[in-house]
Amino acid sequence: MIPISNYCAVNDLEIEAKNLPEIFLLNDTVNINLVIRNLNNDAIINDGRLSISYSYSKYSYVVSEGAHTVEFPKGLFTARDSFTMPVKIIAPKEKGSTRLLFSINNGILPGNFASQYYNIKVE
């Protein structure tokens, strides 16, 4: 067992991508907004351990590229609250259809599946 100080559960955090184009240009950088929701009845304090990652997969649970990481804002995230944050995401390195998934990571622990899969096409 690995000791983790100040552990906080992230299972009740949900991500929704807004302004997400259905078609990406190869290797392009896209500006989108992420709506982060705390569905828990308790507040979450991010002391810098939490981060948001996104990855692309062509098939179920098979990541076609390594995950990219975005900073999760530090501070108090009130229970049953939400906020919107702008992020830049990098399009996949291969053309074709793929799926995009956002996760929330807690330190060294693997990320959860915090969003739905978004179907995108890369041209």
Model pLDDT, residue 9: 74
Q: Which residue has the tokens 């955090």?
A: 13
Residue 50 pLDDT greater than 80, yes or no: yes
CB 98, CB 92: distance < 8 Å: yes
**Of residues 14 and 6, which shows the higher confidence score?**
14
pTM above 0.85, yes or no: yes
Please calculate the CA angle 33-68-13 and round it to the nearest 5 degrees.
55
Q: Which CATH architecture has domain 13-122?
A: Sandwich (2.60)
Residue 81 pLDDT greater than 70, yes or no: yes
Residue-wise DSSP of 103-119: EEEETTBPPP--S--EE
Average pLDDT over residues 3-14: 75
CB 9, CB 112: distance < 8 Å: no
Separation of alpha carbons 112 and 106, rounded Å: 9
Model pLDDT, residue 110: 76
Model pLDDT, residue 36: 97
